Amino acid sequence: HRSLTLLGLESSCDDSAAAVVQDGTGGPRILSSILQGQTGLHAAYGGVVPEIAARAHAERLDLCIETALAEAGLTWADLDGIAVTAGPGLIGGLLAGVMTARGLAAATGLPLWGVNHLAAHALTPRLTDGLDFPYLMLLVSGGHAQFLAVEGPESFRRLGGTLDDAPGEAFDKVARLLGLPQPGGPAVEAAATGGDPGRFALPRPLLDREGCDLSFSGLKTAVLRLRDRLVAEQGGLRESDRRDLCAAFEDAVATILSEKARRAVALLPGATALAVAGGVAANRRVRAGLQAAAAEAGLRFVAPPLALCTDNAAMVAWAGIERARAGIAPGSDLIARPRWPL
Ligand code: KG4
Ligand code: ZN
């Protein structure tokens, strides 16, 4: 097939990003991937503030795009199209991205595709590892937790997902409960080093239930109760309490995800691999559990490099290329949609 080069834009949450991906005879290549995070802008508020995020995206996207083109060594004339995340996410950021992309498409005459952010995450293992359909995908981030059967560029079957919190959200809340910094995932993982996961008994929500639905809010509440008990008994938390609580929490999340992954594997017999994406996929205990579940089933385990597991624009450009190759007409899905299930 002929070579395709797309510019991708991402602004659905708190990262402004632009990237250029080229799909030629040697397979896809990321020519540039620029990302400007906003952690510092929201730090004082304890979470992403939509108004601040939207304004920052509107201010920063242009420079991200210019830099992405420059780093790729390309001009507008070298591109075959543009792809932009149109949902799901925060409406202000989505609008900033879609409006920017519409303006660029009008000015350059390039075709423009709207992309579903979750589809972009789910298609990333094809960009990084050339996976063939169908494969299993576990998306675990600060906002999402779902098992997907990825059966085609436009075909995602949800096998199960969280009924309450996302696991990253649970990591963040546990960090707050224990006085650890944000983002909570890396802080909890660091604090858990050398901890005894067996000292505190934490629940394994939904493990006794069939299918691959997930639940994490009970786990967080259990950590809260244990913390309060320790504080009441001892007047505070010892370093070792924090270490063991973090280890127990991490162990519970890893066990739940790997056990549910085993069930997901059984639901897609022809799968070529078990792939994972999202910030929580950075966790070593979680990765090890999933890897073991895949190995038991004789399945390949694929975890893209972290920069492509978390939000980025290369995955958006790639999803645009997939849409173009699938014959989806440009101009589709260009309405910003805060809610857009796969
Ligand atoms: O995918 P992501 O970067 O952003 C979105 O949510 O879209 O995921 C961020 C989440 C945060 O909740 C963060 O605490 C969690 O991923 N996370 C981790 C680790 N690194 C990041 N959770 C557990 N262990 C980690 N090492
Ligand atoms: Zn994401």
| pLDDT tens digits in sequence order for the chain, 342 residues long | 789 999 999 999 889 999 999 999 999 999 999 999 887 788 777 778 888 888 888 888 999 999 999 999 999 999 999 999 999 999 999 999 999 999 999 999 999 999 999 999 999 999 999 999 999 999 999 888 999 999 999 999 999 999 999 999 999 999 999 999 888 999 999 999 999 999 999 999 998 888 999 999 999 999 999 999 999 999 999 999 999 999 999 999 999 999 999 999 999 999 999 999 999 999 999 999 999 999 999 999 999 999 999 999 999 999 999 999 999 999 989 999 999 998
Evaluate whether ipTM surpasses 0.95.
yes
Residue 185 beta carbon below 6 angstroms from any ligand 1 atom: yes
| Residue 176, C-beta contacts closer than 8 angstroms, at least 6 positions apart | 46, 182, 184
272 within ligand 1 shell (Cβ under 6 A): no
Q: Which CATH class is domain 4-130+311-325?
A: alpha beta
Out of 162, 171, 176, 193, mutate this one to test ligand 1's pocket (max ligand atoms within 8 Å of CB): namely: 171
Q: Is the CB of 38 under 6 A from ligand 1?
A: no
Given strand 112-116, what is the order of strands in its sheet? Answer: 27-37, 15-24, 4-10, 81-87, 112-116
> Is 183 a pocket residue for ligand 1 (Cβ < 6 Å)?
yes
Q: Do domains 4-130+311-325 and 135-307 have the same CATH topology?
A: yes
Q: Which atom of ligand 1 is nearest to the CA of 284?
A: 26
Ordered by start, the domain boundaries in the chain are 4-130+311-325, 135-307
Q: Note the CATH number of domain 135-307.
A: 3.30.420.40
13 CB under 6 A from ligand 1?
yes
Task: Quote the pLDDT of residue 211.
Answer: 92
- Full-model pTM: 0.93
Closest ligand, as measured to the CA of 174: 1
> Looking at the CA of 169, which ligand is closest?
1
Q: d(Cα 124, Cα 314) in Å, to the nearest integer?
A: 9
Annotated binding site: 117, 121, 139-143, 172, 185, 189, 283, 311
Residue 331 Cα to ligand 1 middle (Å): 32
Residues linked to residue 6 through DSSP beta bridges, in sequence order: 21, 81
- Say which residue the tokens 């006085």 belong to: 179
Longest pairwise C-alpha distance within the chain: 69
